[in-house]
């Protein structure tokens, strides 16, 4: 098994999961069921996280078949994937924000519901289109007549982004600076929150720290955006480093761990001097270990490439 196998398996989940999430969300809106709305938002967030390994393993799969005659189809698929992945990430971010609002303000803001509805509709269309194009690469029998097969296909969105990053000397160092600034913001918030979950700074109720979570997610968003921008500009540099995939696996797990402090009641109920439950301590230790692993393996890339 190689990363191409992983991509073939993974690419079904974000597409099918987003479709299911949208269907559940529309049903919840019609039924005015807040619990189902929150479940659909969890689905959107998890699908956005799964989009990360799907996207990067797609680059590895491209390197494995990049010399085929139908390379033009691959380029078109990559352009569609960049756009779909972008909207998937934005949808997941607003879905998380809705979950945070539901916990902090006892309900998801109406504007957020409408934003997620519009974004998820667009995302589903883009994901289905991307999946269809990916299927055409491996299944010639379903290709549209006149599909671009030549390697001389016009430079699309992916190629334009790659050229913009590589052709301007200031873009890469600026991206690296923003990437680590976002990581610092994320680590700072995570450290304070997880220290409370582990039992330190017990005088502070968790409600007071919960308002910091959007800052941490903002930092994660900066790091994720700049990181994927740099990866997309030079994927070969990263996919040849085995620890890079380990780092991205940790990113997904750390993102899922955020759901614990966002959704579950037991953390929200921690008041001043309340001792956290054992599960909260386990999540705190695990999350910090994952974040430290992300930092370590990320910094090792220049030495292992």
Within 13 Å and on the Cβ side, how many CA atoms surround 246? 15
The pTM (predicted TM-score) of the whole model is 0.88
Binned at pLDDT 50, 70 and 90, residue 93 comes out as very high
List the Cα angle 48/54/58 in 5-degree steps: 145
Within 13 Å and on the Cβ side, how many CA atoms surround 166? 11
Mean pLDDT value of segment 230-243: 83
Note whether 99 and 41 are within 8 A (CB).
yes
Q: Who's near 111: CB < 8 A, 6+ residues apart? A: none
For residues 41 and 241, the model is more confident at 41
The Cα–Cα gap between 235 and 96 comes to: 28
For residues 268 and 4, the model is more confident at 268
Percentage of residues in the chain having pLDDT higher than 90: 38
Mean pLDDT value of segment 118-126: 96
Mean pLDDT value of segment 277-300: 90
Mean pLDDT value of segment 152-167: 69
Exposure string over 35-53, b if 16+ CB within 10 A, otherwise e: eebbebbbbbbbbbbbbbb
């Amino acid at each position: 098994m190689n990363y191409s196998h992983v991509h073939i398996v993974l690419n079904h989940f974000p597409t099918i999961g987003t479709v299911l999430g949208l269907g559940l969300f529309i049903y919840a809106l019609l039924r005015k069921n807040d619990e189902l709305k929150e479940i659909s938002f969890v689905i959107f967030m998890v699908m956005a996280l799964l989009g990360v390994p799907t996207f990067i393993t797609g680059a590895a799969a491209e390197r494995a078949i990049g010399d085929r005659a139908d390379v033009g189809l691959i380029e078109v698929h990559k352009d569609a994937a960049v756009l779909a992945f972008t909207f998937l990430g934005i949808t997941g971010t607003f879905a998380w924000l809705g979950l945070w609002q539901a916990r902090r303000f006892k309900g998801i803001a109406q504007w957020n519901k409408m934003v997620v509805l519009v974004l998820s509709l667009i995302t589903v269309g883009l994901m289905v289109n991307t999946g269809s194009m990916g299927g055409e690469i491996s299944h010639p029998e379903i290709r549209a007549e006149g599909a671009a097969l030549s390697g001389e296909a016009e430079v699309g969105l992916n190629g334009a982004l790659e050229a913009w990053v590589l052709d301007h000397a200031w873009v890469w160092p600026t991206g690296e600076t923003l990437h680590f600034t976002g990581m610092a913001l994320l680590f700072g918030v995570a450290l304070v929150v997880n220290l409370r979950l582990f039992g330190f700074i017990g005088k502070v109720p968790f409600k007071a720290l919960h308002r910091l979570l959007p800052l941490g997610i903002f930092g994660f968003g900066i790091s994720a955006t700049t990181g994927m921008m740099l990866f997309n500009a030079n994927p070969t540099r990263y996919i040849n480093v085995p620890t890079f995939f380990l780092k991205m696996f940790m990113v997904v797990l750390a993102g899922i761990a955020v759901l614990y402090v966002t959704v579950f009641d037991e953390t929200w109920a921690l008041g001043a001097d309340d001792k956290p439950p054992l599960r909260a301590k386990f999540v705190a230790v695990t999350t910090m270990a994952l974040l430290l692993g992300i930092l370590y393996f990320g910094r090792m890339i220049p030495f292992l490439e």
